[in-house]
A and B are shown apart, each in its own frame.
Chain A
Amino acid sequence: MLPLLQLTLAVTTPACAAPLAPYGLGTEPPVKFAVYADVVYTGTGSKYENAMVVLADGKIAAITPGVEAGDGDVHVAAITPGMVDLSAHIWAGGNSVEETEEVTPAFRVAGTLDPFSRDWDRQLKHGVTTVVANPYDNNCIGGLSVALKTGGAPTIEARTVKADVALRGAMGTQPSSKNHPAAGRPTDFYSRRPTTRMGVEWTWRKAMYDALQAEGDEERAFDGLPELLRALDGDLPVFVQAWATQDIRTAIFLKEEMAREGKPGMRLIIDAGAEAWREIDLVVRTKAAVVLPPFTESGRTTDGAFFAADCAAKLHEKGVPLALSSHNARTVGTYLEHQAAYARRGGLEFDAALAAVTINPARMVGIDDRVGSIEVGKDGDLALWNGTPFELTSRVVGVVLEGELIEDPRGE
């Protein structure tokens, strides 16, 4: 907290706080400007009333409570950190799954992302400033995920916050969905393993055992070996899609099996863990983190998994690191802000809901040095709200990305 105090003193008193006007499109961004809110939620558990957030050179320079906004200033009801979605389905082209192999740990989804997809703007406009793009889950182990900003210069390089943030894969029916057994249909390219859940699990175990046996042996090196070893050593989190109870258990037991094989450090993040509420004790025992899928009205989701409305609340109660995600959010009521709202409806308290869309996902993939909370020195990514966040009676009306006002709430 110290830096905050120092800078608060260094920043001028309210009477002299006359921030420069925010820029318009096409002009040079100013070095410094400020936004004002009735409440600023920092994402670290604190909140400031009638506060000003000063941005300078793309970073947060100060948070000053007890300041009056002037006419023409950007003044909203609430400010939160720009939100982070670990499982936003950013368009990566129609044919971006490598279908010749199910295990492709070295592939980088960053190379296939479409920088001009509308998905970016949709996320950004609704307050999500950082996303993790993942390889599609048609492969058992699809490759390396990347954390990116949802705005700024339209190149993947410029937007990348951190490359290779996780090794992505999936359990369940999706990875094998295109393959079929040889009988009953003409043999074709897809007549191959895996065609079942156990085939998927076997593919994972084989990949891990191959990596274990090839460790240190140059003769046995193969594509993707370094990534698998990094995953086994816990250097690279393993981000596994596992909707149903049995798939969550499979992922967890796999990690524990690897621990018995001498690799106890594997870090597991379960994506779309809709039935994690059924296996909380296992999740806690294995210290896995969980990212939840979008809320559904009927509770029914993929792979027959039932997503109870209080899943988030239950996980939080047991201390499971928890994040929310919106997947393909493109219709009203499905954006990440609404996922947090519905998590609250299921009993998750406000601070935990805020953390689940900001600092928690950032921490899970190790980008919390830059994003996930409003703290001095972090990236100037803010979501501006016209009411209490994560209520349906309010919404994101403005966005600041790396110190620039992207969506101007005064245009309303």
Chain B
Amino acid sequence: MGLASTGLAASSLAAATFAAPGTGDDGSIVIKAGKVITLAGDAIADGTIVIENGRVTAVGKDVKYPWNAEVKEYPDSVAFPGFVEALTNSGMDRANENIDVAAFLNVKDSIDPVNFYFEDALRAGITTINVQQGSQCVVGGMGYVVKPVGLTVEEMTVKPNSGVAMSATPKRGKSRSTQALALRRAFEDLRLYLEEVVQDKRDGNDHATREALYQGREPDEETKDGRPMGGSSWKVDGLELIPRWELDEKQAPLLSIVEGKTQVFFYCSAPGDVHTAIRVAKDNGFLDRTVLSLSSSCWKAADHIKESGVPVILSSTLTHVERDPVTGEEQETFVPKVFQDKGVRFALRSYGTSSRSLWYQAALCVAHGMSRAEAVAAVTTTPADFLGLGDRIGTLEKGKDGNVVLFSGDPLSVTSKVEYVVVEGNQVYDRSTDVRMRHLETGAQPENTAPETEQGTPHSHEEPEVEDDEEPDAGENEVEEEDHEGHEEHGDDDNGEN
């Protein structure tokens, strides 16, 4: 699992801070930390983590390790498992294509390894990221689980084809009803297509048969590559006659979904969307492979979600604010608590850059009355499970990936900083050489660089606000900008106060 040497000359800045080749790039390292939080038992004071070939081989106090191991001692630091980002639309070119049903797309063709998002995720201690298409689709393409290390997508890959994005949130230009219709149609069209293909085969009208006859030979016996339709909902008889590779590449991914072979991440930006999503999933047999990605207003559908048994990924805005139109009183609902109280499994997404990352979201959960263990699970073990990687990431245990974050203190404290990050046994981040972080913290301008904005540039003045009419919740699952300032909660703007 060590990072392959790429032979590319990374910039000296990047190499020092975020580095592939460096010491110990063979995926083996021994970390001794003042406190080791494993999330699989009690915290260990003065603990040791032994990682060999990218996997943890031992965690404990006074564990043995090879005589020639590279040992890093951090007596003042707290070791913690790498955070897991359950879902993101960042790090790519654009998050969606224009067409409605685009299940044949794959984010691996879009992920940009040098995108700032990955650099910043690593800085914040996120070591595993599920990159998915956005919500501007009906059925989107396939996602990938990556680590924010590496100069090619292949190097970054942790798990390819992690699941398909679907949206019950209306795509731009659609209403809720046309979106729901389009979702149904996608699968109806699949069914019609499969029936047509089977019928053609039976009639001898399929391409292979016709070509064989045209060439004057017997139709090939290719049906051995076919298999009956799987899945737990509707079926098309006779699909075993069709070799799978003959199926239209645009329809094949949908078939895979219906057969329950593909994880589905279903975007919902309103409580009503949740009902649509669950219905579509039930009707097409993939409810047990579905994870809902919710915006904050969807807490109102929590009961229905509980009934259906699907887990959820919450949007980065954890507090949902609603204003009573009569009294003007604002009601705040802390969304994760609602799901926790109902017993629905949930994972969190980071809110912004490293100062408002997954640690921040977990800390807010604690502030709103959840236990530390529950809050931390939502950014480590729970998203690991959702991605089918529960046996590989999320805790510091023997046999799991060697992803370790070293904090200067309590990981959830605002004053703690990520000092080092180890991914699959290689130390790939060192805060002391992070020039961008130093610039943010102290204003120190790196050598031979110019300030980003010129002095005196009129920039985002806080004008006296004219309050707009209430907008429909536009869905937070849209393309995320790299600059996460000024996070606006859609749907909270109210009528003009004048």
Contact = CB atoms under 8 A, between A and B. Distances in A.
B484 A346 contact: no
Contacts of B414: 341-342, 344-345, 390-392
Interface residues of B, number: 54
A211 interface: no
B323 interface: yes
A344 B416 CA distance: 10
B12 interface: no
A358 interface: no
B412 to A, nearest CB: 5
Interface string B438-459: 0111110000000111111111
Contacts of A118: 323, 328, 330, 494
Contacts of B439: 299
B53 interface: no
Given A89-B462, A342-B355, A386-B367, A391 B454 contact: no
Interface stretch (A6-14, A91-99, A283-291): A91-99
B111 interface: no
Interface stretch (A158-166, A202-210, A324-332, A363-371): A324-332
B364 A392 contact: yes
Interface stretch (B99-107, B274-282, B485-493): B485-493
Contacts of B485: 296-298, 300
A24 interface: no
Interface in B464-482: 464-466
Interface string B312-348: 0000011100010000111000000000000000000
A395 B369 CA distance: 10
Contacts of B415: 344-345
B455 A304 contact: yes
A333 interface: yes
B378 to A, nearest CB: 14
B459 A327 contact: no
B356 interface: yes
B352 interface: yes
B412 A392 contact: yes
A310 interface: yes
A332 B319 contact: yes
A94 B496 CA distance: 9
Interface string A314-337: 000000000000011001110000
B441 A333 contact: no
Contacts of A300: 452-453, 459, 485
B461 interface: yes
Interface in A352-382: none
B461 A302 contact: yes
A239 interface: no
Contacts of A122: 330
Given A97-B464, A332-B364, A386-B367, A297 B355 contact: yes
Given A308-B440, A393-B367, A173 B461 contact: yes
Interface string B354-387: 0110001001101111001000000000000000
A92 B464 contact: yes
B458 A173 contact: yes
Contacts of B497: 91, 93, 114, 116-117
A92 B466 CA distance: 11
A116 to B, nearest CB: 7
Leading 6 A-B pairs by shortest Cβ distance: A308-B443, A392-B363, A304-B457, A393-B366, A173-B458, A304-B453
Interface of A: 89, 91-94, 96-97, 114, 116-118, 121-122, 136, 138, 172-174, 177, 197, 244-246, 277-278, 295-306, 308-311, 327-328, 331-333, 341-342, 344-346, 386-387, 390-395, 412
Given A177-B461, A390-B414, A393-B413, 14 more contacts: A97-B464, A177-B458, A197-B456, A297-B355, A300-B453, A303-B457, A306-B451, A308-B442, A331-B488, A342-B414, A345-B414, A387-B366, A394-B367, A395-B368
16 contacts: A93-B497, A93-B498, A114-B497, A116-B497, A138-B464, A277-B443, A298-B483, A300-B452, A302-B458, A302-B460, A308-B441, A332-B317, A333-B356, A342-B414, A392-B414, A394-B366
